Amino acid sequence: MREISCKDISTAIEKLCIEANKELPKSVCNLINDAYKAEEKEIAKSIMKDIKDNISAAKQLDIPICQDTGMAVVFLEIGQEVHITDDSLEKAVNKGVANGYTNGLLRKSIVKDPLKRVNTEDNTPAIIHTKIVEGDKLKITVAPKGFGSENMSKMKMLTPAANRETVINSVVEMIESAGANPCPPMIIGVGIGGDFEYCAYLAKKALCREEEYNSNEYYKAMEIELLEKINKLNIGPQGFGGKTTALKVNIEQFPTHIAGLPLAVNVGCHVTRHKSLTL
């Protein structure tokens, strides 16, 4: 049994909150650079250059890439041989988020009650997803999620009669209806299967995937086809038309019930942020 203190967890999350908001993953930067090179329409190329310049300026000036520093979504993969000491895990996570957003001078966007709308002043509480895994380590991923793109996310409970084509068409329709609202070019997380809530979790988790494609060849082919169809919508960078409506489509799948086929689409803007470390 290996002990990990709540103090160390809070310190790690504070660091991740700040870093994730100031620097995009290299994989996302590479996709943006490739999209800039591929664009032929003058206005689309100009917008992609502005996006590249904004990423560089944020790094040079040590400031957030986007003014919406998001709701903190925290994924925890906890080794079953880990013993967390000193305090409760939930308190430790929220303390880290509060310190990160306060000390990092990040915008605090969370309201305590969804209807009364009073700001909590420290961007807590975080959304926390935990998974017990083998081993004696704790992997932490912080994914700040802005709501310009989050508001464009959708879910459908399809019937089991739905097929591959139905799923593809449904995803494309969802993105087409979103239009320019999510600040394209987008990264799109798709969850297929599970049940109502787990499907949405899969879609959110998909946005954090670093691998280029799904390891399953069937779903890899779907990702490629979806990206092609979405980019043919000609929404383009910031909605001005062009080749790049989406940078990437990530699908995560899970077994489901014989009577249904849940489908969720979690939309990420071009500033789809996440950062991880392992204790």
Q: Containing domain of residue 107, as a range? A: 2-22+65-145
Assigned token pair, 80: 């079953």
Same domain, 138 and 152: no
Instruction: Give the residues of the chain that fall short of pLDDT 70.
Output: none
Give a yes or no: residue 54 inside a domain: no
Same domain, 230 and 212: yes
Same domain, 128 and 225: no
Choose the final residue of a domain: 82, 117, 145.
145
Same domain, 122 and 234: no
Give a yes or no: residue 245 inside a domain: yes
Report pLDDT digits (tens) over 35-66. 999 999 999 999 999 999 999 999 999 999 99
- Helix %, strand %, coil % for the chain, to 5? 40, 25, 35
Give SS3 for 129: strand
Same domain, 195 and 243: yes
Same domain, 166 and 262: yes
Measured distance CA(275)–CA(22) in Å, rounded: 10
Give a yes or no: residue 58 inside a domain: no
Give a yes or no: residue 51 inside a domain: no
Choose the final residue of a domain: 145, 179, 211.
145
Per-residue pLDDT, 211: 84
Cα–Cα distance list, 193 to 95, 135, 170, 251 (Å): 34, 28, 14, 11
Same domain, 264 and 159: yes
Same domain, 226 and 134: no
Measured distance CA(113)–CA(122) in Å, rounded: 14
Give a yes or no: residue 211 inside a domain: yes
Measured distance CA(78)–CA(92) in Å, rounded: 14
Per-residue pLDDT, 20: 98
Same domain, 163 and 267: yes
Per-residue pLDDT, 182: 96
Give a yes or no: residue 44 inside a domain: no
Give a yes or no: residue 235 inside a domain: yes
Same domain, 112 and 211: no
Choose the final residue of a domain: 145, 160, 192.
145
pTM, two decimal places: 0.95
Per-residue pLDDT, 161: 96
Same domain, 189 and 235: yes
How many independent structural domains does the chain possess?
Answer: 2
Per-residue pLDDT, 143: 98
Q: Look-up: residue for tokens 């459908």?
A: 156
Same domain, 187 and 123: no
Region for 236 from its dihedrals, namely left if φ exceeds 0, alpha if ψ lies in -120 to 50, beta otherwise: left
Per-residue pLDDT, 144: 98
Give a yes or no: residue 189 inside a domain: yes
Per-residue pLDDT, 64: 97
Per-residue pLDDT, 210: 86
